[in-house]
């Protein structure tokens, strides 16, 4: 087929029209807020109306899925920080539109600034993701953010003509928007009233996250375009955040039975451990998660020179919220997974007063342990596959990147022997030593001051349940009087609190007086002395019987 210029031109025009239509359609879709039924599923702060399938269908024009039906009666929770709060916010943000030159659109909590030709100016943070809002206790809520994330904000203002005599506005714009975390400038953009800023910060811990916008209005003398003046107004919004960085202390120990102990301590709240590459073997702390809207964005104020009006926000931002769950820390799989051996942290009041009245989740009702440390024992351990996970989605670190302390776990040499006996007593000699080095082990009942220490007591020692102590050479003697079994038991301290650590051990000895010649002689003597009065009484009885029989004959 021969190509002609006329045909080629028509194809080119058609492609341009098609691309234009697709672009317009995409833009229209991007500016459409997510559907209301999706908000109902995600937002724990919505009232739980508990709709029947028919009522749900009548409200949202389609039958509910099982999850959607459940979400109308209760609030969904998650065992890891979910991604859909960030996805929802990203989809909802394009539906947020600033006002015209004579209108400033802002949420009720925005800090407004008016100066000269600029009125009701503000920049207000819409959302920071990935992030997790943590209900710490009954008074404290913190927002933890990832070191790398995205910030969205709304910048708006209105221009006042009445304050400028003999001058008119030539132009107005947002010159620059800057993002700062702590002392670090992390992102900047220009020209946008709905900026989306990607950031990366190296600042750790508690920081201030500040977004700043410069608004410029240029005016000129009436009838002139050269006698111009530019006024700049700077507005900002600051939020206190905690940048989550994982810098844990990690410890491992190999048991004699080829299992491995792993202990991890992290100063900030964190989620847990995955022990396998496919993340099926995992341990998490006491946190669970739900998603909820930021209620400060439920409405938008439209401020004008003549007054204002309030309108509902097309779609407010969503946040991930962490709470201490009643079910507590868990290790999975339940039957053949790792064993959770210890959880430690700070005893903290329940955060129940912090929850929105509509939120219905399984939060602890009394004091709970804010878990900073977890210890597990597993029969499958590959350091290259173990990862630590933060309370913020996507924040994790391989255990291989952490300089961990490896602690030995040894078998103790525990013995109990009968060394001396008498007819009524036995002397037991008890010895406890390190089987590898022969060093005496000194048990002690005092508790370590912290969950992870080097020089804590190695454990406790007991004889038939009664605590005993050893001398400097690792031995002691005990005199017993009751015959029977005597069991000495060594209960080791956790490997996290002593170096070296040990496994448990016990030894048993039996003692009875008949087990010795002296015991038998004592038994014979006792029997003879006991039998003598009986024999005398028996002989006397026989003689008395004969005497009585003799006198009774005729």
pLDDT tens digits for range 68-126: 655 566 678 899 999 999 999 999 999 999 999 999 999 999 999 999 999 999 999 99
- 403 and 258, same structural domain? yes
Q: Is residue 112 part of a domain?
A: no
- 418 and 281, same structural domain? no
pLDDT for 222 equals 82
Q: Is residue 527 part of a domain?
A: yes
Q: Is residue 281 part of a domain?
A: yes
Assign residue 496 the CATH number of its domain: 2.60.40
- 530 and 458, same structural domain? no
- The pLDDT-based confidence of 444 (bands split at 50, 70, 90) is confident
- Nearest by Cα to 116 from 154, 156, 157, 153: 157
Q: Is residue 210 part of a domain?
A: no
Q: Give first-to-last CA distance, the chain, whole Å.
A: 163
Tokens 């040894």 -> residue:
410
Q: Which residues contact 507 (CB under 8 A, 6 or more apart)?
A: 414, 415, 416, 487, 488
pLDDT for 94 equals 95
- 344 and 489, same structural domain? no
Count of the separate structural domains present in the chain: 3
- 413 and 472, same structural domain? yes
- 282 and 344, same structural domain? yes
pLDDT for 6 equals 36
pLDDT for 195 equals 98
The distance between the two most distant Cα atoms of the chain, rounded to a whole number of Å, is 172
Q: Is residue 389 part of a domain?
A: yes
Of 408, 439, 462, which one is at a domain's C-terminal end?
408
Helix (H, G, I), strand (E, B) or coil at 520: helix
Of 408, 441, 462, which one is at a domain's C-terminal end?
408
Of 348, 374, 408, which one is at a domain's C-terminal end?
408
Mean pLDDT of 253-262: 92
Q: Is residue 377 part of a domain?
A: yes
Q: Tell me if 459 sits within 8 A of 492, measured CB to CB.
A: yes
pLDDT tens digits for range 378-414: 999 998 999 999 999 999 999 888 888 889 999 999 9
Helix (H, G, I), strand (E, B) or coil at 547: helix
Helix (H, G, I), strand (E, B) or coil at 539: helix
pLDDT tens digits for range 161-202: 766 677 888 899 999 999 999 999 999 999 899 999 999 999
Q: Which residues contact 539 (CB under 8 A, 6 or more apart)?
A: none
Q: Tell me if 197 sits within 8 A of 177, measured CB to CB.
A: yes
Q: How far apart are CA 387 and CA 7, in angstroms?
A: 60
pLDDT tens digits for range 295-337: 999 999 999 999 999 999 988 999 999 999 999 999 999 888 9
Q: What are the φ/ψ torsions at residue 6 (nearest 5 degrees)?
A: -60, -45
Q: Is residue 303 part of a domain?
A: no
Tokens 């900047």 -> residue:
188
Q: How far apart are CA 410 and CA 400, in angstroms?
A: 25
- 401 and 260, same structural domain? yes
87's tokens:
């996805």
- 371 and 474, same structural domain? no
Tell me the pTM: 0.78
- Asked if pLDDT for residue 418 goes beyond 60, the answer is yes
- 491 and 529, same structural domain? no
- 417 and 492, same structural domain? yes
Q: How far apart are CA 273 and CA 385, in angstroms?
A: 10
pLDDT tens digits for range 199-214: 999 999 999 999 999 9
- 421 and 360, same structural domain? no
Tokens 């400038």 -> residue:
185
DSSP line for 267-293: SS-EEEEE-STTS-SEEE-SEEEEEEE
Range of the domain at 541: 520-546
pLDDT tens digits for range 114-160: 999 999 999 999 999 999 999 999 999 999 999 999 999 999 999 99
- 503 and 435, same structural domain? yes
Assign residue 120 a region (left: φ > 0; alpha: ψ between -120 and 50; beta: otherwise): left
Tokens 């038994």 -> residue:
523
């Amino acid at each position: 087929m021969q190509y002609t210029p006329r045909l080629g031109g028509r194809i080119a025009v058609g492609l341009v029209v098609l691309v234009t239509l697709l672009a317009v359609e995409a833009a229209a879709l991007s500016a459409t807020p997510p559907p209301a039924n999706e908000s109902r599923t995600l937002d724990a702060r919505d009232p739980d109306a508990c709709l029947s399938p028919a009522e749900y269908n009548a409200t949202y024009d389609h039958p509910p899925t099982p999850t959607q039906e459940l979400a109308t009666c209760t609030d969904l929770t998650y065992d890891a920080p979910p991604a859909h709060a960030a996805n929802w916010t990203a989809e909802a943000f394009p539906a947020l539109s600033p006002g015209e030159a004579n209108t400033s659109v802002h949420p009720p909590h925005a800090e407004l600034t008016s100066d000269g030709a600029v009125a009701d100016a503000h920049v207000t943070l819409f959302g920071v993701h990935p992030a997790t809002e943590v209900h710490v206790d009954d008074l404290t809520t913190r927002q933890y953010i990832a070191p790398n994330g995205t910030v969205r904000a709304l910048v708006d203002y209105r221009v006042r003509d009445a304050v400028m005599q003999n001058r008119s506005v030539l132009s107005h714009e947002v010159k620059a928007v800057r993002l700062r975390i702590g002392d670090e400038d992390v992102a900047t953009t220009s020209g946008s009233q709905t900026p989306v800023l990607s950031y990366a910060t190296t600042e750790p811990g508690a920081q201030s996250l500040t977004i700043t916008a410069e608004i410029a209005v240029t005016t000129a003398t009436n009838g002139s375009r050269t006698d111009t003046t530019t006024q700049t107004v700077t507005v900002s919004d600051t939020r206190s955040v905690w940048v989550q960085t994982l810098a844990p202390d990690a410890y491992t120990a190999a048991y004699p039975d080829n299992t491995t102990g792993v202990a991890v301590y992290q100063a900030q709240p964190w989620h847990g451990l995955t022990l396998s590459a496919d993340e099926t073997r995992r341990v998490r702390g006491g946190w669970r998660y739900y998603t909820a809207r930021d209620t400060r964005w439920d409405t938008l104020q439209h401020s004008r020179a003549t007054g204002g009006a309030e309108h509902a926000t097309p779609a407010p931002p969503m946040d991930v919220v962490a709470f201490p769950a009643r079910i507590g820390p868990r290790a999975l799989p339940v039957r053949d997974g790792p064993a959770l051996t210890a959880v430690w942290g700070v005893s903290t009041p329940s955060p129940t007063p912090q929850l929105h009245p509509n939120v219905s989740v399984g939060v602890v009702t009394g004091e709970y342990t804010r878990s900073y440390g977890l210890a597990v024992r597993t029969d499958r351990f590959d350091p290259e596959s173990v990862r630590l996970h933060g309370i913020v989605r996507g924040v994790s670190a391989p255990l291989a990147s952490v300089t961990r302390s490896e602690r030995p776990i040894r078998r103790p040499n525990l013995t109990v022997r009968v060394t001396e006996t008498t007819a009524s007593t036995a002397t037991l000699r008890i010895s406890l030593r390190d089987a590898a080095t022969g060093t005496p082990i000194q048990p002690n009942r005092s508790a370590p001051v912290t969950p992870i220490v080097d020089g804590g007591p190695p454990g406790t020692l007991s004889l038939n349940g009664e605590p005993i102590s050893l001398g400097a050479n690792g031995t002691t003697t005990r005199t017993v009087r009751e015959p029977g079994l005597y069991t000495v038991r060594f209960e080791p301290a956790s490997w996290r609190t002593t170096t070296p650590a040990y496994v448990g051990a016990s030894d048993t000895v039996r003692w009875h007086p008949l087990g010795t010649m002296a015991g038998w002689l004592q038994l014979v003597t006792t029997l003879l002395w006991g039998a003598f009065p009986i024999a005398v009484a028996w002989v006397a009885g026989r003689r008395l019987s004969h005497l009585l029989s003799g006198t009774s004959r005729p």
